[in-house]
Structure 1
Amino acid sequence: MLTSLLTSLTLLALAGATPVPQTAQQLSRAKAYQLQIQLLDPTKDLEPSIAGTYIGTIHVGAGLNVAVAGGRNVSGDTPFYTNGTAAEGYVDVLNDLGTAYPWGIKVQDQNSSDATYPGEHDVEIDVGGGSNGLGLVTDGGEVTLGGLAAGNYAVCNRFNGYVRANLTMVKYVYEGETLPDGCVGIEFVPLCAELNTLPEGSEWTHDFVQEVDCVVPA
């Protein structure tokens, strides 16, 4: 009985120290994608659950949006796309958000952090270009949204003074940093989508959109 109990506890300890395997991805190629949240550890989630939701935006000022864990249905939403090339010296991830301008994903670097929550690196989706070098990363047959350096994304329950409410805000945790309290580790899985047509009168172009690896929606 004691041996059985010790064996069970040992297996649980090993399970807690081992990355939780995820369902294998079926990859394809497309010029656009929706960014779906996948928990790094399915046993660690927020309440209500953010598993399977998509990245969304909350307006916090002129041309400024914080990235948040959004809804479960992206039907009709404009997708993200990878814009530019390394040869041109700039690559970022954009979304038109149904407007005449691009909105880019911006991730704070290791030397910058949230004014209210020092040490936490914010993720925003603001008008104009995104963080240079941000893009999708394919590794071992899986594709996810990469960061500016090694690390992983997280979603945290945080109070935002502009909207005066608690939000499920997206953050980035660099390698060597500790996941803050009230947060769960995630990755963004790009689900293949169709690139939207720019609205009439748009001051933007899709001429430099890349075709990238993405995951075939289930």
Structure 2
Amino acid sequence: MYTKVATLSLAALASASPVARSLSTSKAYQLQAQLVDPAKDLNPPISGQFLSTAHTGAGLNVATLSANADPSSPPFYTNGTSTDGFVDVLNDLGTDFSWGIIVQGSDATDPNFPGEHSVSVNAGGGSDGMGIQATDTTAQLHAPESGDFAVCTRHVDTLNEDLPVVRFVYEGETIPEGCVGVQFVPICAQLNDLPADSQTTHDFVQEVPCVASS
């Protein structure tokens, strides 16, 4: 039921506000960061960038942002069925197995940044209940529990560099210092084909609301 994850971006969309476009549906999407408060951004700015990954170990990626244009990058998609009782958000990184978005639980935090809940894109399935939530005018990524996404500039020890990493702030918590609140808006994309020798399938990919790319 699973499938894989890659570095995502569409430079043509990065400077535009997706909520101004019409809502459509698709089996695949890129996830664009929109600031909750347009007056608050990081330095360098991250508004309009796309959810991406930075490899930190075998089968492990920290969720980060990228402004690089690469329309050929495999997009994210919602995977699973209500009948099976498991739905997650996956992507194809060009490997033979799936990678899923995982939100650290409320009872766990990043060992290097106590009190901060990390977001990863790791080999296998993602967090059960991840998906796309829509209103009449826009759509956004939602996590299994109530809360909000944030982006923080943090030092990633395994890469020895500072990156804009994605965090999750549970309901009742405060956005950590040096972070900005974001919503991840799905921008409609084309679902990629799987290689013949893939160990996964696209048979359970859902058609979901997303913002039309043009």
Give the TM-score normalised by structure 1.
Answer: 0.87
Match 2:188 to one of 182, 185, 192: 192
Q: Extract unaligned runs of 5+ from structure 1.
A: 1-21
Pairing partner for 2:86 from 81, 87, 90: 90
**Other-structure match for 2:112:** 116
The aligned runs of 1:97-112 (5 Å cut-off) are 97-112=93-108
Q: Deviations over 1:46-99 (max 9, x none)?
A: 111111110110000000000001124241110000000122011000001111
| Cα root mean square deviation, aligned | 1.5
- Structure 1 runs, 4 residues or longer, greater than 6 Å off: none
2:151 corresponds to 1:155 = yes
Deviation per CA, 1:84-119: give whole Å up to 9, x if none. Answer: 012201100000111111110000111111011111
Residues 1:167 and 2:163 are matched in the alignment: yes
Once the two structures are TM-superposed, the CA of residue 140 in structure 1 deviates from its matched residue by: 4.3
- Scaled by the length of structure 2, the TM-score of the pair is 0.89
SS in 1 for 2:83: helix
Distance 2:140 2:183 in 1: 7
Aligned twin of 1:207? 203
Q: Letter of the aligned partner of 2:59 in structure 1?
A: G
Structure of greater Rg: 1
**Partner residue of 1:76?**
72
Task: Out of 132-141 and 91-100, give the one that drifted further.
Answer: 132-141
Report how far residue 139 of structure 1 moved: 2.8
- 1 or 2 for the larger relative contact order (CA 8 Å, sep ≥6)? 2
Q: Which has the larger displacement, 133-142 or 161-170? A: 133-142
Q: State the alpha-carbon separation in 1 of the partners of residues 33 and 125 from structure 2.
A: 23
Further displaced range: 135-144 or 186-195: 135-144
Deviations 1:182-203 (A, max 9, x none): 1000010000011000012111
SS at 1:144 equivalent: strand
1:167-211 per-residue CA deviation (whole Å, 9 max, x = no partner) reads 110000111101101100001000001100001211110000000
Whether the aligned pair in 2 keeps the contact of 1:56 and 1:71 (CA below 8 Å) is: no
Looking at secondary structure, tell me which structure has more helix per residue: 1
CA distance in 2 between counterparts of 1:88 and 1:153 reads 27
Q: How many residues align?
A: 198
CA distance in 1, matches of 2:48, 2:190: 20
Report percent identity of matched pairs. Answer: 51
Take 1:176 and 1:74, find their aligned partners in 2: how far apart are those partners? 37
Q: Deviations over 1:2-23 (max 9, x none)?
A: xxxxxxxxxxxxxxxxxxxx94
**2:137 — aligned with what?**
141
